[in-house]
Structure 1
Amino acid sequence: MVERMDTAEREEIAALLARAAEGDGRQAVSEQGRLALRSGREDVAHLTSRDEHGALVGYAQIDAEWSAELVVDPARRREGHGRALLRRTLNSGARRLWAHGGHPAATHLAAEFRLELVRELRQLRRTGPAPAVPALPDGVTLRTFEPGRDEEAWLKVNAAAFAHHPEQGSWTRRDLEEREAESWFDPAGFFLAERDGELVGFHWTKAEGGLGEVYVVGVSPTEQGSGLGKALTAVGLRHLGEARGLATVLLYVDADNPAALRVYERAGFTVHEVDLMFGVPS
Structure 2
Amino acid sequence: MTNDAAAAPGTPQVRTLDALDERQVADVLALLSAAAQADGAQAVSEQGRLAIKGGHRQGVSHLLAYDDGGVLVGYAQLEDTDPVEAPAAELVVDPERRGKGYGRALGDALLTASGRRLRVWAHGGKSAARHLAQVLGLSLFRELRQLRRPLGPVETLDIKEPSYPAGVRVRTFEPGKDDAAWLAVNAAAFAHHPEQGALTQRDLDDRMGEDWFDPAGFFLAEREADGTILGFHWTKVHQEEQLGEVYVVGIAPDAQGGGLGKALTATGLRHLAAQGLPTASLYVDADNVAAVTVYERLGFTTYETDLMYRTES
- With the shorter chain as reference, the TM-score category is over 0.9
Secondary structure of the residue aligned to 1:182 is coil
1:221 aligns to 2:253 (yes or no): yes
Matching residue of 2:289: 258
Report the more deviating stretch, 50-59 or 125-134. Answer: 125-134
Unaligned runs of 5+ in 1: none
Structure 1 ranges of 4+ moved more than 3 A: none
Higher helix share: 1
Q: Distance in 2 between matches of 1:249 and 1:130?
A: 13
TM-score (normalised: structure 2): 0.88
Secondary structure of the residue aligned to 2:28 is helix
Secondary structure of the residue aligned to 1:185 is coil
Matching residue of 1:107: 130
Alignment of 1:1-282 (within 5 A): 1-43=16-58, 44-64=60-80, 65=82, 66-93=87-114, 95-128=118-151, 129=157, 131-195=159-223, 196=225, 197-208=227-238, 209=240, 210-242=242-274, 244-282=275-313
Identical pairs, percent: 59
Shift of the alpha carbon at 1:166?
3.3
Secondary structure of the residue aligned to 2:48 is helix
Cα RMSD over matched residues? 1.1
Q: Distance in 1 between matches of 2:132 and 2:253?
A: 41
Shift of the alpha carbon at 1:130?
5.2
Q: Distance in 2 between matches of 1:250 and 1:223?
A: 25
Q: Distance in 2 between matches of 1:268 and 1:41?
A: 41
Shift of the alpha carbon at 1:200?
0.6
CA-to-aligned-CA distance 1:142-172 (integer Å, 9 cap, x gap): 1000111000010111111111213211111
Q: Distance in 2 between matches of 1:125 and 1:266?
A: 12
**Count of aligned pairs:** 281
Shift of the alpha carbon at 1:233?
0.2
Q: Structure 2 counterpart of 1:102, which letter?
A: G
Unaligned runs of 5+ in 2: 1-15, 152-156
Q: Distance in 1 between matches of 2:22 and 2:250?
A: 36
Q: Distance in 2 between matches of 1:212 and 1:120?
A: 22
**Are the counterparts in 2 of residues 124 and 251 from structure 1 also a CA contact under 8 Å?**
yes
More relative contact order in 1 or in 2 (CA 8 Å, sep 6+)? 1
Shift of the alpha carbon at 1:211?
0.4
Secondary structure of the residue aligned to 1:131 is coil
**Are the counterparts in 2 of residues 130 and 237 from structure 1 also a CA contact under 8 Å?**
no
**Are the counterparts in 2 of residues 124 and 270 from structure 1 also a CA contact under 8 Å?**
yes
TM-score (normalised: structure 1): 0.97
Q: Distance in 2 between matches of 1:130 and 1:9?
A: 47
Q: Structure 1 counterpart of 2:26, which letter?
A: E
**Are the counterparts in 1 of residues 221 and 230 from structure 2 also a CA contact under 8 Å?**
yes
**Are the counterparts in 2 of residues 130 and 238 from structure 1 also a CA contact under 8 Å?**
no
Q: Distance in 2 between matches of 1:165 and 1:88?
A: 27
